[in-house]
Amino acid sequence: MSGLNYFVVSYDIREKKRLCRVHGAMKGFGEPVHYSVFRCDLTARGKVEMVAVLTDLIAEDEDRIMIIDMGPVDGKVEERIEFLGVHADKKEQEGKIIIV
């Protein structure tokens, strides 16, 4: 077992400058899957570090971040996720840049 858990992180940041900072920070912890939604494979320590960084970046009285623990990264993560409509596979996502 790898000790990694799959987290879905979604955020609603009210101010553009903070939004850009949060997005930049999140790129260090995972990969974007939708606007303001990231997939992160993290250890327990990695999650604590991510929460600490995000807490420093947001305005707690204005912004909101949701972190969902999807469980162990065990090869079954994809079975727990359902997409409707267009879903880009990993090859399509490589090399794309998201501009906020």
- What CATH number corresponds to the domain at position 45? 3.30.70.240
pLDDT of res. 1: 52
Into how many domains does the chain fold? 1
Average pLDDT over residues 62-82: 87
| Within-domain flag for 83 | no
CA distances from 74 to 68, 70, 82, 100 (A): 16, 11, 17, 32
pLDDT of residue 74: 81
- Residue 98's pLDDT is 43
**Cα(22)–Cα(16) distance, rounded to whole angstroms?**
10
13 belongs to a structural domain: yes
* The pLDDT value given to residue 58: 97
Is residue 19 assigned to a domain? yes
**What is the band of 73 on the pLDDT scale with cuts at 50, 70, 90?**
confident
Q: In this predicted model, what pLDDT tens digit does every residue of 23-59 receive, in sequence order? A: 999 999 999 998 899 999 999 999 999 999 999 999 9
Of residues 52 and 76, more confidence is placed in 52
User: Tokens standing for 4?
Assistant: 């990694």
